[in-house]
Structure 1
Amino acid sequence: MIPFDFDYYKPSSVQIAVEWFQFLQKQGKNPIYYAGGTEIITWARTNSIHPGAVIDLKSIPECNVLEMRNDELIIGACVSLSALSAANPFPLLSETAQGAADQTARNQITLGGNICGKIYYREAVLPLLLANSRMVIAGMNGIREASIHQVFSQQMRLDNGEFLVQTLTDRSYLSLPFVHFKKRQIGYIGYPLVTVTALKKNNQIHTAYSGVCSFPFRSAQIDQALNDSSIPLPVRIEQAIGNLPAPLLNNAEGSAPYRKFVLKQTIADAVHTLERR
């Protein structure tokens, strides 16, 4: 149960959502946008956030699109991870989404909610980083489109009053050879020790990671090291790990030394698999 009262709004268009955000902010309501809501509910129950108003985006048509259009895969921010997996338009994204949570949670977690969340893992962003997807973002100045690499750095970098409407991914990435590995300390449900996703394009392997550092990431320096076939793979992996963008996580899921061990083995599995394809 959420231990405080708040106003609830469910706009039917992008424009109305933005206008309500502006109005509510002027009223001192500290509004937040709501897509799937699982993380918002968790933070609210622990008194970590105290919004005076919630703007539910799930009735906005653009936020519920899941279709191919002009050689682009368009996914609305309010499409659930379960719906994504069932439709399977982008197999790497579908497999990553399936591993993000159990079925019950995936019915509620949305693509936008996962990408824009605050928890460390946010695994659904990894395939989009690899596919150089573009993000459609709405705000007070209208709708803009930007490369994911311009607006996602450790987390989504949205201006005040903005929200993610859709992701756009070029068809050429959807059927590339890929791997997805999620390693947990125990069992098949829960947060990862290490998640590694990878695509192979033009004989180059591109990788992205979650659970390794305190944010999901893709690194050009890591990919450059892994693709240097002139040196043995164990050396490539050591060089790649030397280019991590932040310290290894050290938490209840696993210690930093254990994470490093698992990461090395997982990268080796990913490279071996894709080098044969």
Structure 2
Amino acid sequence: MLSFDFDYYRPKTLQEAVGLFQNADRNGKKPMYISGATELLTLGRINLAFTEAAIDLKDIVEGNVMQFEQGYLVLGANLTLTKIEEANLFPLLTNTSSNIADHTARGKITLGGNICGQIFYREAVLPFLLADSQVVIVGPEGVTVKPINEIFNKQLKLKKGEFLIQVATDDRYIHAPFISIKRRQQWETGYPLITVAALKIDGEVRTALSGLCPFPFRSKKMEAALNNHELSVKARIQSALAEVPSPILNDVEGSSEYRLFVLQNLLEDVLGAFD
């Protein structure tokens, strides 16, 4: 049970959703956009999330699309991870997101909820960072399309009143060779220690990571090191490890030293899969 009450709205259009947010904000109600609502329920129970006006986006048509359009795969932010997994239109995304939580939870967690959430794993964003995907954002200024690698820095940088409605990915990345590996310290559906997603495009390996730092990321400096074929594989990996952003997580799932050890082995697996 949540310890607070809130007004609940279920708009049918993009404009209605933005209008409801603005109106609630003017009335000091600390509005929040939701679709799966899993994070509100989970974090709200431990007082880490709060709202007085929940605006549920799940009935908005644009957020439920799953189609190829002009050479791009367009996925709505309201799609559950289970629907994405079953359709399997983006195999790297399927492989990465199908290991998030358990099947029951994935039937409620939405693509947008995972990308924009507060929980720092957010593995579903990794394939999109690798594929230079475009994000479709809706807010008071209308609808805008932006490269995800320009607007995602530790988290999706949304302005007040904005929400993610779609992610579009160029078809050529959809069919690129890939690998996705998740390492856990505990049980099969427990929180991950580290997740690495990688693909090879234009002869170079791209990698994105979750669970190493308190945010998911793609590092071009790490990629440059991994693709430096003048060095041995061992030296390439050591150079990449030197470019890991900070801080490195140190928690009950694993120490920072152990995480770096696991990452070293994961990078060996990645390069072995593509070299």
TM > 0.5 between the two?
Answer: yes
Aligned partner letter, 2:169: T
Q: Distance in 2 between matches of 1:199 and 1:7?
A: 43
Aligned partner letter, 1:221: K
Correspondence for 1:210: 210
Aligned partner letter, 1:94: T
Q: Distance in 2 between matches of 1:43 and 1:26?
A: 25
The alpha carbon displacement at 1:40 in A equals: 1.2
Deviates more, 1:162-171 or 1:47-56: 47-56
Asked if structure 1 preserves the Cα contact closer than 8 Å seen for 2:40 and 2:50, the reply is no
Aligned partner letter, 1:105: A
Correspondence for 2:125: 125
Count of aligned positions: 275
Deviations 1:81-102 (Å, cap 9, x if unpaired)? 0000000000000111101111
Q: Distance in 1 between matches of 2:48 and 2:259?
A: 28
In the superposition, the TM-score normalised over structure 2's length comes to 0.99
In the superposition, the TM-score normalised over structure 1's length comes to 0.98
Asked if structure 1 preserves the Cα contact closer than 8 Å seen for 2:210 and 2:217, the reply is yes
Aligned partner letter, 2:41: I
Aligned partner letter, 1:173: Y
Counterparts of 1:20-169 in structure 2 under 5 Å?
A: 20-169=20-169
The alpha carbon displacement at 1:36 in A equals: 1.3
Deviations 1:31-74 (Å, cap 9, x if unpaired)? 00002111111111112222111000000000000111111100
The alpha carbon displacement at 1:186 in A equals: 2.3
State the identity as a percent: 47
Q: Distance in 2 between matches of 1:50 and 1:57?
A: 17
- Mark the runs of 5 or more structure 1 residues left unpaired by the alignment: none
Deviations 1:102-135 (Å, cap 9, x if unpaired)? 1000000000000000111000000000000000
Deviations 1:134-170 (Å, cap 9, x if unpaired)? 0000000100000001111000100000000100000
Asked if structure 1 preserves the Cα contact closer than 8 Å seen for 2:138 and 2:163, the reply is yes
Q: Distance in 2 between matches of 1:269 and 1:243?
A: 19
After superposition, the CA RMSD in angstroms is 0.7
4+ runs of 1 displaced by more than 4 Å?
A: none
- Mark the runs of 5 or more structure 2 residues left unpaired by the alignment: none
Aligned partner letter, 1:64: N
Aligned partner letter, 2:197: T
Aligned partner letter, 2:122: R
